[in-house]
Amino acid sequence: MGLTGAVAILLIASFPAIFAVTFQVGDTSGWESGVDYTTWVSGKTFRVGDTLEFKYGPTHSVSVVDKADFDACDSSAATEVFSDGDTSIDLTGVGTIHFICPTPGHCLGGMKLAIPVLAAVSSPATPSPPSSPRSSPPPSPRTPPSSTPPPLAPRSPRKPKTPSPSASPPANESESSTPSPSPSPTSQQSPSTTSPSPSPPNAASKGVMSYGMIGVTMVLMYNIMS
């Protein structure tokens, strides 16, 4: 920033002070009897930050009063009283300020002053010196939200339950209720290998054989004994 820029900033910063005005009440006549202060006020603009300067002799004073006492020229309830002969009063608030001279008869003779105070001229904002641009990291790209829901994870197949070795398979109802027929001997043997069973001897042949045996026995015993 060059010298010209610095001077411009100082001028902007002191803008209200430069444009603040000091008004000498009554101009060259001062605060004195026989001056028309209503005419003196007309055409002037008073703002917050301006200053009123009262110059007067020893027979005068300056009292700050409200509107009612201003109209009645009553200084008994004055908020401020000055009698130094050279009084400077700063205008610090917006509104009308009323002044009178408390010396008897002087206010009624025209030594009264009403000052309408306006707001101060707003100063422009002081520009800040430009700062060196900082390199900011590029913004990370944002992934747009997907409208398709993510696929579900495949479910593992469920293993079939293995029956315990001790458990016997359930018997079929028909097999448990109906006994299986046993095979007959004739159905298991083939016709070619089947031999005819001998017929039992009759009773006559049995008797002959018995008597024959007895005879043979008796013969043998006889031969032995002889």
Interval 124-144: pLDDT, tens? 555 555 565 565 656 665 655
| Mean pLDDT computed over 155-161 | 58
Which residues have a Cβ under 8 Å from the Cβ of 11 and sit 6 or more positions away? Answer: 18
| Mean pLDDT computed over 20-37 | 95
Give bridge partners of residue 54 from the DSSP assignment: 87
Average pLDDT of the chain to the nearest whole number: 73
CB atoms within 10 A of CB 55: 17
Taking the CA atoms of the chain, what radius of gyration do you get in angstroms?
A: 74
Which residues have a Cβ under 8 Å from the Cβ of 63 and sit 6 or more positions away? Answer: 75, 78, 80, 81, 82, 99, 100, 101, 102
Average the pLDDT over each of 6-15, 47-56, 102-111 and give the range with the smallest value. Answer: 6-15
Of the pLDDT bands very low, low, confident and very high (cuts 50, 70, 90), residue 218 is confident
Tokens for 187? 């159905």
Average the pLDDT over each of 105-109, 147-151, 197-201 and give the range with the smallest value. Answer: 197-201
- The alpha helices in the chain, defined as continuous H runs, are 3-13, 15-19, 37-41, 67-72, 173-177, 185-188, 203-225
- pTM (predicted TM-score): 0.50
Q: Quote helix, strand, coil % in the chain, to nearest 5.
A: 30, 15, 55
What are the chain's domains? 20-118 (2.60.40.420)
Tell me the percentage of the chain whose pLDDT exceeds 70. Answer: 51
